[in-house]
Structure 1
Amino acid sequence: MSKLTEGLTYDYLSSEAAPTREARIETCNAFGGSCNSLRTGMGTGCSKNNSRKFAQGGGCQLNLALGIVSSFQNVVVIIHGPLGCGSNNLGRAGTRKTARILKQRPTTTDTIWIQTNLDDTDVITGGIEKLRQAVLYAEQEYRPDAIIIGNSCLPGIIGDDIDTLLNELDGQIAAKVVPIHCEGFKSKYVATGYDSAYHGVLKKMVEPIQRYEKALPNELADSNEKYRHSKIVNLFNVGSTSYGDEVELSRLLTALGLEVRVLPLYSSVEEISRISEAALNISICATHDDYLLGHLKERFGTEYIIDTLPIGIKNTNQWLRVIAEFFKLEKEVEKLIAIETAQLEEALEPFKKVLKGKSVFVGGGETRIFTTGELYQSLGMRVVGLKPHNFDRFAIPMIDSIDDQEAVIDVAPGQPAEELVILSRLKPDLYVGHAQANAWITKLGIPTVPLFGQSFNYMGYSGAFELARKAARVLKNTSLSQKIVSNVALPFRPIWFESNPFDNIKEAKV
């Protein structure tokens, strides 16, 4: 278990919903300053209580939760809320189908969702009856393995008791009925949506499985030591994990003699129910996984690793070493690292010549941006700024990975106008971030590289090569961003770019 989770408790399954991240971990979503000042603020406990006088944009917990559960095989998702709450499923459907084809999953189980379409009348009379009809219809029409209900803001406000209804229906239908409480008004941290999804999955879909112990080989075994269970490991994927990432990380773990199961995204209900069979649960992102893995440890005794995100040589090496230590494979992992690192270093040399001395700004998830920034530093670039969506205890140790401790950090979910002011002053040579942000940034004339993508590989040794190749290719030819900045204007007056980008941040008083 990582030291990052020491002191945390995960035994919340007796509650209908997961606790908010405000109540559970030290989280900050409003900060402007430097690496040094953020570390100081988190150390004194004040930064986590910062807020904003004005917020331009943010995220939806329901969308994050549905991004997980709608990928499961042979399930029906019921969105209990107004019609607009299901709009993102339209864009998600194509991605889901492509991913299932790549993973050789059945293509007949495309995303199926039903909307209760709550209206003005339902706000007054309640929407429980609509939900009842939707659940019964889903069972009769599709015969799924599970029916998953995403409870949006509106039913939470009007007090629809969906858990009582689902308990009543649970014995009347064959499918597992899984409530997911995503009432976004309860927390200002959008990542709480991950906890909401896994809370429902843990309560209704995960079954205890008998584990089988094997003796360790004599040369590795202590006097009375038994091998902990098997060499099965669960590798937890997230929405930003591409198929290429899964292949690369599975390749590395298999090279150590481990049997890899990649889940929960795109898994069947039966595969999820057997999640407790593994000897070790391996996370690539604490922001997504800590609630799930912490519960599995407390409930089944399965150890887990939440250490770093395996992007770049340094972090991939660290990730592999921690896993190997658990299985007493220290000698094997050093041989693997030596071979992989030597091959990669040779392949990176041409890109280093292009990237050396260039500056980069990275925006996105907290663990991903620090590991990505560290990779570009190792290639000779300077990290001049970072923009995490939120910041918590899992990212605090990663601050030290940034060479320039005066580099700007803007903790902000959304807030593109705030970010544009910062970038207009820093003028980095390259921006690495989410696709939604890249469109804005390109209008400043800054070349961009997507932080992740379903058709690209970012993790492990092959991912480091791809990140370096993409950056070098973009910087060799910046004509696209130059043409865009010459012909497309941003919707801000010049006076906006002269303002303080952090004026809307309200610092907490200690």
Structure 2
Amino acid sequence: MSKLTENLTYHYLGAEAAPTREERIEACNAFGGSCRSLKKGMGNSCTKFNSRKFAQGGGCQLTLALGIVATFQNVVIIIHAPLGCGSTSLSFAGTRKTMRGQKQKPKTDNIWLHTNLDENDVISGGIEKLRKAVLYAEQEYRPDAIIIANSCVPGIIGDDIDSLLDELDRQLSARVVPVHCEGFKSKFVATGYDSAYHGVLKKLVDPVPRYDRTIPDDVGDAAEKYLNSRTVNLLNVGSTSYGDEVELSRLLKALDLNVRVMPLFSSVEEISRFGEAALNVSICATHDDYLVGHLKERFGTGYVIDTLPIGIKSTNQWLREIGKFFKLEDEVERLIAIETAQLEEALEPFKKVLKGKRVFVGGGEMRIFTTAEFYQSLGMNVLGLKPHNFDRFAVPLIDEISDQQAVIDVAPGQPAEEMVILNRLKPDLYVGHTGANGWVTKLGIPNIPLFGQTFNYMGYSGAYELARKAARKFQNTTFARKIAANVALPFRPEWYETNPFDNIKEVQA
């Protein structure tokens, strides 16, 4: 656990909803400049007040919250919202089933209900529609949990869903989980993760039980204590693939640790036992810091949250933090020595191809910095980065970028801003978040995805795959060139001459 996180206090569970990230952590979602200037701005606590005169686009907290809770087994999701909020999430129905199969979890149907709020409900309230939906879900599907996703409209008109759910709780066999993901409350879309985990922590996570035994207490205590003292919750996120989970579990099991991969694609019963582990291991602070802080306060569970295990250096650091907790430092060093020796040998052919190539990386803050550092270790030059947001967890990672004058554009969405930057920098390779690659291809820049459900990106095998992907992309760049020659971006030539950061309103220290 780093000094950044060890002194944080979490006292929010008594509230109906999670606090916004503006309240809770020092975060920035609007910045344009260099690595050095961003670190200076974060040190002066001024960048968190930056904003934009105009926002081209961004994410939705509802979508991110549903990305967590919709994976749980045998649950019914009720979207309390106008119809549009539900239609934007229908794509989950197919993808979640596919991902569940890849991760070798039991397949249960994605069941979605919708209260379909209209103009009359905005005036008179939508509570009765929600009441009917909850009772219908219980009688028709008999789920383990009913999860209510509360969107912007009921938040604005003041529907008191928590009072309703408290009233209905005695009539239901399912656990009822309110998720307050009203997007208008925060500029930081990642608050949606906090909203989901707030509901999960309040309604699904049970106290750690003391089991009745038929064997003597001292023997039973010793056995249970040993098992729990070696148990690690490996916290997965939507962007991790089954291959990532296998690789990270392999490394932890090599240290003789008992690994539980959760909470995504877990059963309600598995989630209820969250507090039984000795250590919670995060692979992304953006997703998990709210969750692990509460579990530490409630159960005394330690956690590791400092880095994302992408690339050799970050994977080594990740393992060392875990080894330090379990006092397995020597075992970890032996494991690192074996893995890195094999990997370094395998990477040599790729280094010859990638040396001197210029790369730009865009996506989630923790993932892009660790990915950029790894490509840098292979001899590539990092021209720039585009994190969706930036907070204190990523500050130490700035120092890993050799060129402190590399461009940083902190921006959720804003593709028009990014296109100006890329058109000027003209990187040899773009590594980007889902949704960005189409825009970049139209500029004629070869690109590969930052993550994907069918590939391995994490751990030592993931480092090999990242290098192999980049090297293969340079074998044939015809696709991007032909797309750029035949498909135009919707920007006038004079747009590319503007300052991409003119739209950002900076606060001076």
* TM-score interval, smaller chain: over 0.9
Distance 2:13 2:259 in 1: 27
Using the TM superposition, give the Cα deviation of residue 230 of structure 1 relative to its aligned residue in structure 2, in angstroms.
1.6
Distance 1:214 1:450, change over 3 A: farther
Please state whether the residue corresponding to 1:455 is helix, strand or coil: coil
Contact 2:232/2:258 (<8 A) preserved: yes
Please state whether the residue corresponding to 1:348 is helix, strand or coil: helix
Q: Where in structure 2 are the equivalents of 1:371-390 lying within 5 Å?
A: 371-390=370-389
Please state whether the residue corresponding to 2:71 is helix, strand or coil: coil
Offset from partner CA, 1:22-71 (integer Å, 9 cap, x none): 00000000000000000000000100110000000000000000000000
Distance 2:499 2:26 in 1: 27
When normalised by structure 1's length, the TM-score is 0.96
Distance 1:228 1:247 in 2: 21
- What residue is the counterpart of 1:220 in the other structure? none
Please state whether the residue corresponding to 2:385 is helix, strand or coil: strand
Distance 2:306 2:45 in 1: 22
Offset from partner CA, 1:67-89 (integer Å, 9 cap, x none): 00000000000000011111233
Offset from partner CA, 1:385-426 (integer Å, 9 cap, x none): 000000000000000000000000000000000000000000
Contact 1:214/1:227 (<8 A) preserved: no
Please state whether the residue corresponding to 2:295 is helix, strand or coil: helix
Please state whether the residue corresponding to 1:185 is helix, strand or coil: helix
Contact 2:285/2:305 (<8 A) preserved: yes
- What residue is the counterpart of 1:280 in the other structure? 279
Offset from partner CA, 1:250-283 (integer Å, 9 cap, x none): 0000000000000000000000000001010100
Q: Where in structure 2 are the equivalents of 1:84-483 lying within 5 Å?
A: 84-107=84-107, 109-210=108-209, 229-483=228-482
When normalised by structure 2's length, the TM-score is 0.96
Please state whether the residue corresponding to 2:9 is helix, strand or coil: coil
Distance 2:481 2:312 in 1: 32
Residues 1:491 and 2:490 aligned together: yes
Distance 1:278 1:254 in 2: 15
Contact 1:72/1:268 (<8 A) preserved: yes
- What residue is the counterpart of 2:5 in the other structure? 5
Offset from partner CA, 1:219-256 (integer Å, 9 cap, x none): xxxxxxx9795200000000111110000000000000
Please state whether the residue corresponding to 1:240 is helix, strand or coil: coil
Please state whether the residue corresponding to 1:414 is helix, strand or coil: coil
- What residue is the counterpart of 2:15 in the other structure? 15
Distance 1:211 1:398, change over 3 A: farther
Please state whether the residue corresponding to 2:456 is helix, strand or coil: coil
Distance 1:8 1:388 in 2: 24
- What residue is the counterpart of 2:222 in the other structure? none
The percentage of aligned residue pairs carrying the same residue is 78
Contact 1:245/1:463 (<8 A) preserved: yes
Distance 2:489 2:100 in 1: 38
Please state whether the residue corresponding to 1:89 is helix, strand or coil: coil
> Which amino acid counterpart does residue 331 of structure 1 have in structure 2?
D
Contact 1:214/1:230 (<8 A) preserved: no
Using the TM superposition, give the Cα deviation of residue 6 of structure 1 relative to its aligned residue in structure 2, in angstroms.
3.7
Please state whether the residue corresponding to 1:147 is helix, strand or coil: strand
Segments of 5+ residues of structure 2 without an aligned counterpart are 212-216, 220-224
Please state whether the residue corresponding to 2:17 is helix, strand or coil: coil
Q: Between Structure 1 and Structure 2, how many residues are aligned?
A: 499
Mean Cα displacement is larger for which, 86-95 or 230-239?
86-95
Using the TM superposition, give the Cα deviation of residue 367 of structure 1 relative to its aligned residue in structure 2, in angstroms.
0.4
Using the TM superposition, give the Cα deviation of residue 100 of structure 1 relative to its aligned residue in structure 2, in angstroms.
1.7
Please state whether the residue corresponding to 1:234 is helix, strand or coil: strand
Distance 1:390 1:230 in 2: 36
Using the TM superposition, give the Cα deviation of residue 7 of structure 1 relative to its aligned residue in structure 2, in angstroms.
3.7
Please state whether the residue corresponding to 2:105 is helix, strand or coil: coil
Using the TM superposition, give the Cα deviation of residue 509 of structure 1 relative to its aligned residue in structure 2, in angstroms.
3.4
Please state whether the residue corresponding to 2:176 is helix, strand or coil: strand
Contact 2:227/2:258 (<8 A) preserved: no
Distance 2:226 2:40 in 1: 43
Q: Where in structure 2 are the equivalents of 1:5-84 lying within 5 Å?
A: 5-84=5-84
The runs of 4+ residues in structure 1 deviating greater than 4 Å are 211-215, 226-229
Distance 2:431 2:375 in 1: 10
Contact 1:242/1:455 (<8 A) preserved: yes
